[in-house]
């Protein structure tokens, strides 16, 4: 081969520009078709009109009035409920107070009845003892008279209380040791007229409550002619300031004062102004 002969080239021959353009156009068309097919269909816009109610001044004022009325009614109902609750609590408290008072009164009556029973039993025992003493005295006097050598010593025998007087005396003595409280009527505390009134109640006799009225009852008797059950008084008969019960043997029982209470003592310790007999 000649050194001048052309050497064949190993490069691929260039494609013509027209072919390249044709292929690019085909590829672009295919891609466009794919893109259109893949994209979702565009949704049409939906429009809807909502009509809002029109509020007028009449509607607003009516609603406000209803709300105010409802609030007022609720307030009134609450006030009524509170008032009812207060009334119920007051009624319960009053009932409890009445029950307590009734219980205290029942206890007072029971205590008074117990003391009255004890006084009655004591009076019966004293009457029996006095009866035996009287019999012994009578026998002794009879023996002296029969002996002819006896002489009258001048002593006298005072008969014990009997019947209603015995019940009065026994009740009064049963209260000895109780306290003195102004205005008290038992069963464990007394004032002077309260004790006298309660004692006479044992004999079925209702006396006035105060000492001045009690000393105006019955008939006046001398202090030298007293009998058990007589009412002793201090001061004037119609205006006495203190009363007590004569129990025999020169003694009386009375609710004296806060320091002494109910005591039995001699009438010579504090000589009364007078006495009345109601029995």
pTM of the complete model: 0.49
Higher pLDDT, 194 or 9: 194
Classify residue 246: in a domain, yes or no: yes
Classify residue 62: in a domain, yes or no: no
Helices (H), the chain: 17-38, 57-147, 163-174, 192-201, 211-214
Classify residue 126: in a domain, yes or no: yes
213-265 tens-digit pLDDT: 999 999 999 999 999 999 999 999 989 999 999 999 999 999 999 999 999 99
Classify residue 207: in a domain, yes or no: yes
Q: Does the pLDDT value for residue 146 go beyond 60?
A: no
Q: How confident is the model at residue 15, as a pLDDT?
A: 53
Classify residue 58: in a domain, yes or no: no
119-139 tens-digit pLDDT: 666 666 666 555 555 554 444
CA-based angle 229:231:235, to the nearest 5?
165
Distance CA(150)–CA(135), nearest Å, equals: 18
Classify residue 250: in a domain, yes or no: yes
pLDDT band per the 50, 70, 90 thresholds, residue 31: low
- Residue 234's domain spans which residues? 74-135+160-279
Number of domains in the chain: 1
The 10 Å Cβ neighbour count of residue 134 is 13
CATH number, residue 265: 3.90.1720.10
Classify residue 40: in a domain, yes or no: no
The most confident of the ranges 28-32, 160-164, 225-229 is: 225-229
């Amino acid at each position: 081969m000649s050194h001048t002969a052309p050497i064949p080239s190993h490069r691929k021959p260039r494609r013509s520009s027209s072919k390249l353009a044709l292929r690019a156009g085909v590829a672009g068309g295919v891609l466009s078709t794919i893109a259109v097919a893949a994209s979702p269909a565009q949704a049409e816009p939906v429009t809807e009109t909502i009509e809002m109610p029109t509020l007028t001044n009449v509607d607003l004022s009516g609603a406000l009035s209803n709300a105010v009325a409802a609030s007022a009614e609720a307030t009134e109902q609450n006030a009524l409920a509170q008032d009812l609750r207060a009334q119920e609590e007051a009624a319960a408290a009053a009932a409890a107070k009445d029950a307590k008072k009734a219980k205290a009164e029942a206890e007072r009556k029971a205590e008074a009845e117990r003391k009255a029973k004890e006084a009655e039993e004591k009076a019966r025992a004293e009457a029996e003892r006095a009866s035996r003493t009287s019999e012994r005295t009578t026998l002794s006097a009879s023996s002296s008279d029969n002996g002819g050598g006896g002489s009258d010593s001048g002593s006298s025998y005072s008969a014990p209380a009997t019947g209603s007087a015995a019940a009065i005396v026994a009740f009064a003595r049963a209260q000895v040791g109780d306290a003195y409280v102004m205005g008290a009527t038992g069963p464990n505390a007394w004032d002077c007229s309260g004790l006298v009134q309660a004692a006479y109640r044992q004999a079925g006799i209702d006396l006035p409550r105060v000492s001045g009225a009690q000393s105006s009852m019955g008939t006046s008797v001398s202090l030298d002619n007293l009998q058990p059950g007589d009412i002793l008084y201090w001061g004037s008969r119609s205006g006495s300031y203190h009363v007590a019960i004569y129990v025999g043997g020169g003694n009386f029982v009375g609710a004296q004062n806060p320091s002494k209470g109910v005591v039995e003592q001699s009438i010579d310790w504090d000589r009364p102004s007078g006495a009345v007999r109601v029995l």
